Structure 1
Amino acid sequence: MIENPSQNPPPGWYPDPQSPQMLRWWNGGEWTNDVRPATSTDVATPGDGRMRPVSDWMTETFRLMINNAGSLFTLAVIFLVPAALVSALGLWFGIKDLLVIIDNEAVGNPFTFEGAESLGIAGLGLVANLVLTFLFSVCAARLAMSGRFEPAIGWADALMSGIRRFLPAIGWTLFASLIVMGIFVVIITVSVMLGPIGGLFGFLALLVLFVVGFGRYAMVFTTPYVAGAGHRNPLSAHRVTAGHTGGLMGRTFLLVLITLTVSLAGSFITGPVAALGGAEPISTDDTVIRVADFLGGNLGLFLLTTLVNSIIGGVASLVWHVGQANLFEDLGGVIDPELRNHGKGKTPAPASVASM
C-alpha cells in the first residue's frame, strides 16, 4: 500500500482495493466513485489517446443499461407509454376520415384530399410523441451514464436532471440535425448540377465525406445529454475525437447496425399483430385510398403495436446514446459533474491506493 502522498501514482484506473475484479479511478490524491469492470489488461485512462477494445466498450454499454434496468423501466412507463398512447390516438382520430383521391387523367397534380380537417389532431399527437420520446432519451442516457460513477442516480433524480437538460439538449440536437440535412442538400445539389456521370462521382465523393464525418462527429447528437457545460458542442467533439477517426467510425457504425437490427426485430414482432387488426398495404391500383385502412380496424391492437414500437425505439435510442457517451468519456470528454459527483459521501473513499 502507498501511504506517502509524495509517492502516490498519477491519476488513472487502478485495481479497486475493495473489489479486485473492478477498476476504480484514482484522481492523484484519493479514490473516486468512478468504477468500471477490469476486462482488459491494457487500461486506458480518459484522454490518454487510447480507446478500449470494442468488446470492453460494448460490455460496459450494456452493463450500464442492465444494471439500471429497473429505473430505466420506470422512465419508460413515465414517458414512452404516454408517448405511444397520444400518438396512436392522434393518428386514429386524426386520419379516420382522410381520403386520397388519385385522378390518373388530371393535368398537373393528380392528388386531391378529403376529410383532412382533423389532421391537426394527428400532428399534435406526433409532436407530443417526439417531445416525450426525446425526454426519455435524455433522462435515460443520464441515468445509465451515472452508473459509471456508482451508485447510479435514481429514476426521480434522472427525471428532474433530464428536464433541466432538455432545452440545451434539444437545441444542440436540432443544430446537429440541420448540419446533416444541409450536407444532404449539398450532395443532391452537386449531383444534379454536374450531370449524370459527374454527378455520380460527385455524389460518391460527398457521400464518403459524409460517412467519415458522421463516423467521427456522431457523438455531437449525444454529448448535449450527458456532457458538462461548455463540453457539449461540435467543437468539443472535434477536440476529443482528434486522431481517432478510424476507431470512431467502426464503433459508430456498429451502433448504427445494432439500432437498425433492434428496429427490424421490432417490425417482425409488430407486423403480424398489425395484420391481425386488419391493416392493409397500399395498392397501386387504387384510385381512392382510405388512409385509415393502414391502421387496421382494431383500436386496441393498433395501440399495442404502437406501444411496442415505441419501447423498441426507446431501447435502440438508449443503446446509441449510452455507447456514444461512453466513447466521449473514454476520449477525455467532460461528463456533467451532476452525474460524476452525486455519489460523494455515500461510498467512503480509501485513504491510500494499492500499487499495481
Structure 2
Amino acid sequence: METKLKTAAQTALDLERERQYCELCGKMENLLKCGRCRNSFYCSKEHQKQHWKMHKVNCKESEVKPQVSKQKSAEPQAPSGGIEGQTLPSPQLKTRVQPDNTASPSGETRMKGFITNAECAGSSVGKPGGSNTKPNGQTTTRSTPQNLAIEYIVPCMIKHGICVVDNFLGGETALAILEDVKLLHKTGKFTDGQLVSQKTDSTKDIRGDKITWIEGRETGCEKICFLMSRMDDLVRHCNGQLGNFTINGRTKAMVACYPGNGTGYVRHVDNPNGDGRCVTCIYYLNKDWDTKDHGGVLRIFPEGKAQFADIEPKFDRLLFFWSDRRNPHEVQPAHAIRYAITVWYFDADERARAKEKYLTGAGEKGVKVELNKPSDPS
C-alpha cells in the first residue's frame, strides 16, 4: 500500500516554504530572495524598493557569498537617508524561489472539526427571542452570542486557528444583506482590490476581486451594518480569551466580489508585517454555491501542519482565522460571481507598535473603527 507520509526532508522543505512570503504584501508565490541578507523575500523589485526603508535596518550581508556575475545587476536603487547622509547599499534580488504549485500537496490532508451550525451551537443572531422555527413546526432554541463565543469559537480558534459558523444569521437576514451588496455592485461602487502600500500595476497578478469599503452608516447599507454589529458582539465576548490579544477596534468592512471570470487571490498572509490585525472575519453570501462547478474555495495552510483547510464560500457562513503568519491562504479561481464581507480586528498593543514604526498600510485597512455597541442584551 502506497504511503502518503512525507520524508523528513520534504517536510522540512514545506515548512521552510511556509515561512517565505513577500515582506510587503504577503504573497507567497514566485518570490525573489534579497541578494544581500538572503533572509527576506519579495514578489517583485517594486515591492523591495517600497519596503527598503524598513528592511535596511535589519538587512545584513550574508555570510554565504552569492556567486558574483560579470554582468551588471539590474538592482533597485536604495532610498537615501542613511546615517549622516550615507546611502546604504541596496540588496539584490537574485534567487528565485520556486512556488509550490501543487493544488493538493502530497501528504497533506484536510482539516476537520472547525465547523459548527449556528442552529445547534450558535447564537440568537438571526431572530429576536433566541429561537428558530423549522418548517415542520419544531422549534430549535439557539444559544446566545456569549455561549457561541465562549463554548465554541474561543476553543476552536485556540486549537485550530480557524473557526466556521454556518447559518449564522438565518436565510431571511442573509438575503437582505445580499440585496445590499448587489445594490452596491449594480451602482458601480466596486473598484479593483488593492494591496497594502501598492503603487504598481502588479496587483492584478495577485488578486482579481473588486471591492468597496463600508463603515456601516451609508444609506442602503443598513443590513451590512447589522452584520457588522453581530460580528462585533461575538468578538466582544471572545475578547481577552484569544491568546494574548486585546481587541479594541477593527477596520471598516471590505465588501468583495470576484466577477466569476476565473480570477482568484494567490497564496498570501493578511498581516505579514505586524500592522495590528489579529483576527480575520469573513461572511459569505453565495446561494447554491457548488464548488465543483464554481470553484472559489478559500484554502488555508496552517503554519507547521501537514494539513490544509478548504472553506467553501457558502451562503450565510461566517469564518474566523488568525490574520498573521500562522494562516497563509489563497482564493482559488472563481467561475461564478462570489461575494464576501471581510472585517479585520486589531490587537491594541500590536496596533500601537505598528503606528510607531509606520507599518500601518495605506487605505481602509489602516482605518481604525471602534467596535459597535452591543446590538441587544446577550
Q: TM-score range by the shorter chain?
A: under 0.3
TM-score (norm 2): 0.22
- Flag the structure with larger Rg: 1
TM-score (norm 1): 0.23
Specify which structure has the higher proportion of strand. Answer: 2
Specify which structure has the higher proportion of helix. Answer: 1
